[in-house]
Amino acid sequence: MMAPVSAIMLSIDGSIAALFVIFGLGVMVSRQMLASLRFFMWQASALTASALALAYALQAVNLLWVALITFTTKVIAVPLVLRWAAGEEVYGRREVDQAMGIPASVLVAALLALVGWFAVAPVLPTLHGVPFAAINLPTGLIMVLWGAFTVALRRESVAQLMGLLIMENGAFFGSIAIVHNLTVIAEIAAAVDVPIVALVIGLLIRSIRRVTGSTRVGTLDKLHER
Amino acid sequence: MNADCLPVLILLVPLSGALLALLNRWAAPYFSVLAAFITLLLGTSAAWHVEAQGPIHASDGLFALDALGALYLLPVCFVYFTSSLYAIGYLWARQQEQASDEAEPRYRQYFPLMNVFALVILAVPLVANLALMWIAIELTTVFSAFLVAYEDRAEALEAAWKYVALTSMGAMIALLGVLMLYYGTHAAGQAPTWNGLLRAAPHISTPLLLLAFVLWLIGFGAKTGLVPMHTWLPDAHSQAPASVCAVLSGVETSAALYMLLRIYPALAANPGIHDPAAWYMTAGLITVGSAAFMLIQVHDFKRMFAYSTIEHMGIILTACGIGAAVHEQGTVYQLFAHGFTKSFCFFAAGLAGIIFGTQEIAKARGLISRSPAAGWALVLGTLAIAGAPPFALFLSEFEILYTGYSSGQYLPTGLLTAFIVIAFIALAYQATRIAFGASDNIPEQHSAPTIKIPRSSLAAMAIAFIPMFVFGFYLPAPLLHLVHEAALMLEVPA
């Protein structure tokens, strides 16, 4: 059983969660690649802020590590890696294709948010004494669903990578409320994992551009059953 | 040697192989084969120790190896060794067949990546912590992406992109499930390991455990190739070099399936979850059925073996559901035998691709007359993977069906039997057309250059044939005991 937390900390975490969702929506619907990356960085900053707020409220030192690792890897390392691996694609102020218009995408996002909420709702009453779970867990699951939708929606490799990264943000946003005790080795491994994923996918994007002349993966459709 | 050192050594050897392969381009294949051979010896010795003296716990609980982990570790080590050996000559021959601009294969790109890829697969049964297992599975995709895209063509990059996008998406979904179980085990005062999860399972709230399981099923299911998240699998296997397909299909997809199997006893131990076996049977039967019908209309022989992998993942999942009522011996033996049998099939398919200069079934005829070794390997490999006697998979599929019928589960077992028969007929029909069909009216076949089959690839196939054949009728006593022990780990705790 965890110690009770003040209403003000719950309000702060709730506000951060709202920002987290707005930035996620920004990644999903922004027309420009660079804007999408910036929304991702803002979202990772919101994740950092939530980890700091929870670390203070729950006196959980491990969450300070999570905040530090998140900020270092996602706000600093991932953009650097992407600039190195696929700089022209990300920083070239390009419009991004998507399979669905923005109003329809927002509508689907709203439906996915309902799905996420109803999936988590039965779990919440069982998390006695986990004060932030009711805020973070549904928000995290919704972001995982939105990230998956972004991967399906976008026809551009870098934008799909953003979708994968916001899914990861979502998984961590949901779990920091309930898991404060990942072992140090797991935290270090998770920290190394994200830049490696970004690096390898960035290099793959560079190869796709070199061979096909574009990073529009929506046009890669030669492989299928006849 | 102290058994506690074995998990660390098993991971250090491929890492050393990768570093040495980076240093010298010409020696890279030989360093890799040596590293893989040493890993095979160490893996066998670890499995032997587990069979004789029980689980290994090492490095203050960072590593653990039990019977089920050991039974999965064996094919991983074996396929790592045979595919490294196979790749030496295969990559040369493939270069010649494609008349590539490059003079030599890119050994310095291929072998370091292959060693690191093997390292992260080996980590799955060896690390104890659930979060570390997830990281290992996630990294298998990352390190194999450039192996799938090795041939650097638009199609290969398309396949690699679909593979990375879909399986990483699955991994992110599974991550939330893993962290939920992490919370569940911690809240119950247990360590986040398989044993801890099993002890904690009765105390974890049912909605939390169910939601975590659904996230696992979707997330790890994408990596396993469960329908409808399977679409990356035929594309990746049609484009990757055969030596990579052998590892991808033989043991990498099983890594995610291993996670799905291991969570089963925890679900069954929770009093609020009624009939978890139904989830496994439903997901498994949908997968086997879809793969069986896709096998009928497939046009590419490497895609054919990819659909066969999907079918086998479905069979194992269904078997886990069916075996829950009686015992799980068929399930774990199928997981074990699939590894080396499927790698053999891809070795044969790789040689057939080099000989014909195409993977299209319609343009591939008379393989036996072009190369008796490759032709018979393709026929025998296909029969073995389809479940014909006297091969190892016949034993496991017979055991699974016998368990199903003898425990009165007629509907799922009947459906599984029908799908296995459809897949058998489709595979046998396609393989016999390729091996024995007349090539007279296929002009491309007469103009195709004659390429000598590399000796290292033939040697790898000969080695891979031994367990595929011998384990169909003879299991050494220690291995049989290990299978029994592994099966017990999937059964519902008292």
Contact B176 A204 (CB under 8 A): no
Rounded to the nearest angstrom, the minimum Cα separation between B469 and chain A is 32
CB-based contact B362:B476 (threshold 8 Å): no
Q: Which residues contact A213 (CB under 8 A, 6 or more apart)?
A: none
Contact B161 A157 (CB under 8 A): yes
Give CA angle at A108 (A102, A111), nearest 5°: 145
Nearest-CA neighbor of B122 among B4, B265, B10? B10
Q: Which residue has the tokens 């059964």?
A: B491
Reported as a single tens digit per residue, the pLDDT across A2-55 is 556 788 989 999 999 999 999 999 998 888 888 888 999 999 999 999 999 999
Reported as a single tens digit per residue, the pLDDT across B207-245 is 999 999 999 999 999 999 999 999 999 999 999 999 999
In B59-118, beta strands by DSSP E? 63-65
On whether any CB of chain B is under 8 Å from the CB of A114, the answer is no
For residue A95, the SS3 value is strand
Q: Count interface pairs A-B at CB distance under 8 A.
A: 140
Contact B161 A127 (CB under 8 A): no
Residues 240-269 of B with CB under 8 A from A: none
Q: How many CA atoms lie within 13 Å of B237's alpha carbon, on the beta-carbon side?
A: 31
Q: Which pLDDT band holds residue A115 (cuts at 50, 70, 90)?
A: very high
Question: What one-character-per-residue DSSP string does A55-102 give?
Answer: HHHHT-HHHHHHHHHHIIIIIIIHHHHHHHHHHHHHHS--B--BSS-H
First to last CA, chain A: 58
Handedness of CA A164, B259, B394, B319 (dihedral sign): negative
Which chain A residues touch B126 with a CB distance below 8 Å? none
Write down the pLDDT at residue A189: 67
Q: Residue A170 corresponds to which amino acid?
A: G
Rounded to the nearest angstrom, the minimum Cα separation between A219 and chain B is 9
Contact A223 B186 (CB under 8 A): no
Q: Which pLDDT band holds residue A131 (cuts at 50, 70, 90)?
A: confident
Rounded to the nearest angstrom, the minimum Cα separation between B202 and chain A is 14
Give the whole-angstrom CA distance, residue B386 versus residue B140.
Answer: 27
Tokens found for residue B240 = 């990757």
Give the dihedral of Cα atoms B221, B225, B231, B234; nearest 10 deg.
170
Write down the pLDDT at residue B449: 59
Contact A221 B158 (CB under 8 A): yes
B142, B239, B303 member nearest A197 (Cβ):
B142
Reported as a single tens digit per residue, the pLDDT across A134-151 is 999 999 999 999 999 999
Instruction: For residue B410, count CB atoms less than 10 angstroms from its CB and return exposed for 0-12, middle for 13-18, buried for 19 or more.
Output: exposed
Across all residues in chain A, what is the average pLDDT? 85
A122, A171, A220 member nearest B179 (Cβ):
A171
User: Is residue A167 scored above 80 in pLDDT?
Assistant: yes
Residues 200-219 of A with CB under 8 A from B: 200-201, 203-204, 207-208, 211-212, 217
Tokens found for residue B57 = 């716990």
Write down the pLDDT at residue B450: 65
Contact A200 B154 (CB under 8 A): no
Q: Are strands B63-65 and B56-58 parallel, antiparallel or unpaired?
A: antiparallel
Tokens found for residue B225 = 């190739």
On whether any CB of chain A is under 8 Å from the CB of B217, the answer is no
Handedness of CA A12, A15, A19, A20 (dihedral sign): positive
Contact B157 A144 (CB under 8 A): no
Rounded to the nearest angstrom, the minimum Cα separation between A90 and chain B is 18
A120, A189, A217 member nearest B161 (Cβ):
A217
Which chain A residues touch B294 with a CB distance below 8 Å? 225
What percent of chain A clears pLDDT 90, i.e. is strictly above it?
Answer: 37
Could you report the average pLDDT of every consecutive run of 10 residues in chain B (494 residues)? 89 96 88 97 97 92 94 97 95 79 76 96 95 92 92 89 92 92 91 93 94 95 94 93 96 96 94 92 97 94 96 96 82 95 96 91 89 94 95 94 94 97 96 86 61 89 96 94 94 68
Write down the pLDDT at residue A1: 47
On whether any CB of chain B is under 8 Å from the CB of A196, the answer is yes
Cα–Cα separations (whole angstroms), residue B471 to B29, B160, B336, B480, B486? 29, 34, 10, 10, 17
Rounded to the nearest angstrom, the minimum Cα separation between A154 and chain B is 12
User: Is residue A225 scored above 80 in pLDDT?
Assistant: no
On whether any CB of chain A is under 8 Å from the CB of B188, the answer is no
For residue B358, the SS3 value is coil
Q: Which residue has the tokens 């058994």?
A: B3
Residues 288-307 of B with CB under 8 A from A: 294, 297-299, 303
Write down the pLDDT at residue A226: 66
CB-based contact A219:A158 (threshold 8 Å): no
Q: Which pLDDT band holds residue A91 (cuts at 50, 70, 90)?
A: confident
Cα–Cα separations (whole angstroms), residue B483 to B68, B80, B333? 8, 21, 7
Q: Which residue has the tokens 């000989």?
A: B355
